[in-house]
Chain A
């Protein structure tokens, strides 16, 4: 099946480039054809996994791509749609209009591609200004000024640029021709998926590791924009996220903690499945013998949110009981001057000789191997990545009980309340003094992390999700699945035996489900489920039959495909 993988290029390349999550997924599911659509591309030459069949990457940042402005009549149509969108953002009573405005803009942009030119025009600015200054608009704390109109219009133009990407349509390379979209990371990457869902009925899956909306809320606190702009942009991201969650066929947050946020933003729990982010580190051997001196390892960015100070204060208490204990702090400074501040705190506590600010380690495995215990003192843990890595080393973990820590560490480590140096010191001392318990917890943690964060379960989960999705969306409204008369497809019109017997060869196929430009295989069953037959494009006829058959049997059948086949045969 053809999968369009949409992701924002805003993340550092290490996360999406070769060896990233998306690459692992594409390499793990070679039976599907993946196409990568980078939404905020920078056009950098990166190493890309050969698993991608095609990579599309429009320039989304920086200068507006040149383009003809729409004519007067079109401009008015654009302005109406834009007005609907903006009033959904600023008028408290009209929030429901966001989707309608967005889809109208998407449809208009698909027709003539003049959306960026319109959004940068004076007409759009005037529309924005008028709606923004309407009585009743939600600008209680500060009226928007001309500069705000300019900045907000620019930002909206950049945010809406994916709508004018040349991706829509049912031709080759168009999102209308794929079987499903997979949005990784949410945010603006969901815009093309929403448009494709609306224009072509293509379902989409949303995978989020670290919620885009939450990052926006945190990031915009430091943004150099005035209040009204911040409010407008955050309203845009919130409305976009809510619309995404409403329209997504399946949501796969990276942790239960994130799932709560998604539910808060309107995600349907029935369509949500937590899929932990797999990490290739599960295959890493456990760390070797512990160092001779009892050593605490702390890793993370050096910033107040990671609360390195708490670690230092707790370490002072540990050292009062265990004078030979040492502390190694790994990580780079993320807040200016924070490292010097921490060094000063260590000096004041009389720890300067025992604390080592080691900077970025060669590899995380080395960092964990150099310690007896891995300690986390953060005020918030939004991503399970670092915790899971520490657990995979086989060292016991002590962490503050915040964010995802409880669900990741669970019973295999010690959790202490945040901002409590005494509790943290107590937990560290308890483990430092009890080698047997330390080893037991470390091993349990390693096993737990290996079970949860392995790569194969992720691949397996998405294999199932893809199949399940495509079986729920048997044919797309304009994909030609309804037959000549345009009648809706009937997925389970015939029993499974029918497809195995010779009868189907005699019967004339009731309209190809594959849609135009989608050549059916020799044993392409005439049912909408036949599209699964395309999964094995390598001409594995037997596997194709099995696929089609298993899906006839429903979701349960999809999971135990060989068994189902044997049973029917």
Chain B
């Protein structure tokens, strides 16, 4: 073969045989991180000692070294940013909103009996697991092509996809169920008003999911753009306030709408009130109710944010702690809104601090 190549070379004058090899394997040489990578690639492409000899090299390794020195490194073009997964976000939003609102509506319609509450809690408990993407199981480090032992074809290690049915997600769902169904089940108070507030909160679960999705997307974007961990933290600083504020704004609008509907459907009994519908709707709930609604909003959005950042356990703990604290205060003799405000508020403050710390970490956004 070497003789044949020499004859061919004499027939047509070729300036530099290395240049031919270089032209043929330019992509390989540009992407290589090491001369050995070029050697492996050349060998894979069928070049052997004869080809190295044609290039006046003792072996393939020294040819690879020359190629590595002569071809400048050029990393591959940065891959286009991932399309904004709008469809997935919309799907998650609608799933969360529907799964939260329908059971609440059923409880409102059929009354807060155990036979209604328990079936209603099931979709609520499953909602986070259904709305979230399946968590990716960290796979093995990419270690070479896993070849079949007999060389006859593929025998790849199956890559396990993580399951979305994780205990922590179910715990989070249970917390969500307790959060939304507890006010409906609690006796006393203004039933229609509570129903309206809870329904608004349930619909806003979709908004919470959307806010969490948005923050995750922003985090991922910054992950690929920030140069250092400190820069990443600086870039992530406004994300949590913005996400929480957006969700609270949506919740406020929904609450207001629910109150307006309530005012139309079931006007407050008693002597006539002045003012238009909007004024009446705003007056339908007192300051304590509005504050409790804000706490409910925080307890909806913060666990959603944490769950999306991979802290499902923390999300479950937060979502379960809110109703638990409220129940505890109720047992101590506080009235409904106050208990919700104090107990839930304390838990929400703790969650807010934790989320502030977690969301700035780069590790939370993979």
User: Using a CB–CB distance below 8 Å, which chain A residues touch chain B?
Assistant: 8, 10-12, 14-15, 40, 60-63, 122, 125-126, 129, 133, 140-143, 145-147, 149-150, 154-155, 158-159, 187-188, 212-227, 230-231, 233-235, 238, 260, 264-265, 299-302, 305, 307, 330-334, 360-361, 364, 379-380, 382-383, 385-386, 389, 400-403, 417-419
Contact = CB atoms under 8 A, between A and B. Distances in A.
A216 to B, nearest CB: 5
Given A299-B152, A386-B152, 19 more contacts: A11-B146, A12-B155, A14-B149, A15-B149, A60-B140, A129-B228, A150-B223, A150-B362, A150-B366, A154-B138, A215-B144, A216-B144, A217-B41, A218-B144, A220-B144, A264-B61, A332-B154, A360-B153, A401-B48
Contact of A63 (B43, B75, B138, B149): B138
B155 A217 contact: no
A24 to B, nearest CB: 13
A57 B150 CA distance: 25
Q: Can you list the 6 inter-chain pairs with the closest CB atoms, starting with the nearest?
A: A332-B153, A219-B144, A215-B144, A379-B46, A141-B73, A418-B46
Given A122-B361, A216-B143, A11 B149 contact: yes
B229 A146 contact: yes
Given A10-B140, A218-B40, A218-B144, A146 B33 contact: no
20 contacts: A12-B155, A12-B157, A40-B140, A61-B139, A129-B228, A133-B227, A143-B227, A145-B224, A215-B143, A215-B145, A218-B145, A234-B37, A235-B33, A301-B147, A301-B154, A385-B150, A389-B150, A400-B46, A402-B43, A417-B50
Interface string B25-36: 000100101101
B361 A224 contact: no
Contacts of A141: 73-75
Contacts of B147: 301
Contacts of B361: 122
A189 to B, nearest CB: 11
Interface string B125-142: 000000000000111111
Nearest to B31: A221
B45 interface: yes
Given A146-B232, A227-B76, A332 B36 contact: no
A417 B1 contact: yes
A177 B361 CA distance: 43
B109 interface: no
B229 A149 contact: yes
Interface string B57-78: 0010100000000000111100
Contacts of A62: 137-140
A145 B225 contact: yes
Contacts of A230: 33
Contacts of A301: 147-148, 151-154
A219 B151 contact: no
A417 to B, nearest CB: 5
A220 B143 CA distance: 7
Nearest to B142: A223
Nearest to B148: A12
A212 B147 CA distance: 12
A417 B5 CA distance: 11
B44 A125 contact: no
B90 interface: no
Contacts of A419: 46
A419 B24 CA distance: 14
Contacts of A212: 144
Contacts of B228: 129, 133, 146
A218 B146 contact: no
Interface string B352-366: 000000000111001
A184 to B, nearest CB: 13
A8 B36 CA distance: 23
Nearest to A216: B144
Contact of B75 (A142, A307, A385): A142
Nearest to B36: A217
B106 interface: no
B145 to A, nearest CB: 5
A364 B149 CA distance: 12
Contact of B34 (A223, A235, A386): A235
Given A150-B363, A401-B1, A220 B146 contact: no
Contacts of B48: 401-403, 418
Give the interface centre of B59, B139, B148, B361 by most chain A CB atoms within 10 Å.
B148
B226 interface: yes
Interface of B: 1, 28, 31, 33-34, 36-37, 39-41, 43-46, 48, 50, 59, 61, 73-76, 137-155, 157, 222-229, 231-232, 361-363, 366
Nearest to B140: A61
Contacts of B41: 217-218, 221
Contact of A217 (B40, B153, B224, B225): B40
Nearest to B76: A227
B46 A300 contact: no
B223 A219 contact: no
Contact of B151 (A60, A133, A386): A386
Contact of A333 (B33, B153, B232): B153
A293 B307 CA distance: 66
B151 to A, nearest CB: 4
A372 to B, nearest CB: 20
Contact of B143 (A10, A142, A238, A401): A10
A535 B363 CA distance: 51
Contacts of B366: 147, 150
B226 A145 contact: yes
A404 B363 CA distance: 45
A227 B136 CA distance: 22
A369 B41 CA distance: 34
Give the interface centre of A12, A125, A400 by most chain B CB atoms within 10 Å.
A12
Give the interface centre of A133, A221, A385, A386 by most chain B CB atoms within 10 Å.
A221
A140 B59 contact: no
A330 B152 contact: yes
Contacts of A234: 33-34, 37
Given A125-B229, A419-B46, A260 B143 contact: no
Nearest to A305: B44
B227 to A, nearest CB: 6
A225 B152 CA distance: 28
B75 A334 contact: no
Given A142-B75, A143-B227, A213-B36, A218 B152 contact: no
Contacts of A227: 31, 33, 75-76
A125 B48 CA distance: 42
B223 A146 contact: yes
B31 A380 contact: no
A12 to B, nearest CB: 5
Nearest to A187: B143
B42 to A, nearest CB: 9
Nearest to A21: B149
A10 B146 contact: yes
Contacts of B148: 12, 14, 301, 332
A332 B31 CA distance: 29
A528 to B, nearest CB: 39
B278 to A, nearest CB: 47
B46 A380 contact: yes
A361 B50 CA distance: 35
Contacts of B74: 141
A512 B361 CA distance: 56
Given A150-B362, A158-B141, A234-B33, A383 B227 contact: no
B229 A126 contact: yes
A104 to B, nearest CB: 22
Contacts of B75: 141-142, 226-227
A146 B152 contact: no
